Amino acid sequence: MPGEVSRSNPGPSDESPYCPDYCYPNGPRMCPCGHHEGYHNDQGECLLAHQCQCKGLPLTCRTPTPNEEGQGVREIQQRIGDWVRSTLGEKSLNNPLERCLRLMEEAAELSQAVGVNAETLHRLIDYVYARPKGKAPQEIAGCMVTICAAAFSLKVDLLAVTLKEIRRIHTSEVIARVRRRQHEKREAGLEGKGLKGTGR
């Protein structure tokens, strides 16, 4: 029968989280509802939704498991690779110079959107090319870190807008426009063919 010990230690209350905060080595992520991820079940439903009116745990507020770490990025990379192949062809997909020119174009458009003037960008290019050349894998990682920081600064949900853009570029209208612009860039010598990978 229960004794003094069991009465003085009744165990967790009905409002205790499914996973206490000590289960997370780096601390649990917080849901906008004010309760950490441990209060949410596998479907994202909050144990205390009757109090906080939680609408569900956003994916960005869930700590990935070791097996899930990076899987989302790899899946997006594969989906984009498949799209470039089907839209522009294998040669375009496997042309690093062309892909990097497109990356520079998007970075310039983002800079333009937030108010960076062309003169500053030209000076930045001169600054970069005056320094020793880096290694592609490290620079790719730098691009990823930098775009995440830019999205944070602009208060943009990077995953949400990326998935939205993936849906948009799969429409027939966008595919036709991308192919037309690609032809225009090739006519202007901006597709990477015959360009040198070093120097200015």
pLDDT digits (tens, 9 = 90+) for 18-68: 998 888 877 888 899 999 999 999 888 999 999 999 999 987 788 766 555
Question: Do 46 and 96 fall into the same domain?
Answer: no
Q: Is residue 6 part of a domain?
A: no
Q: Is residue 137 part of a domain?
A: yes
Q: Cβ neighbours of residue 31 under 8 Å, at least 6 residues apart?
A: 37, 39, 40, 46, 54, 57, 58, 61
pLDDT at 26: 76
pLDDT at 102: 93
Q: Is residue 2 part of a domain?
A: no
Residue 181: domain span: 71-187
Q: Is residue 86 part of a domain?
A: yes
Question: Do 76 and 105 fall into the same domain?
Answer: yes
Q: Is residue 1 part of a domain?
A: no
For residue 155 the two structure tokens come to 């208060």
pLDDT at 132: 96
Consecutive 10-residue averages of pLDDT for the chain (200 residues): 46 75 83 91 90 88 65 83 94 93 96 97 97 96 96 92 91 93 84 48
Q: Is residue 175 part of a domain?
A: yes
Q: How many domains does the chain have?
A: 2
Cα–Cα distance between 162 and 79 in angstroms, integer? 11
Cα–Cα distance between 61 and 181 in angstroms, integer? 38
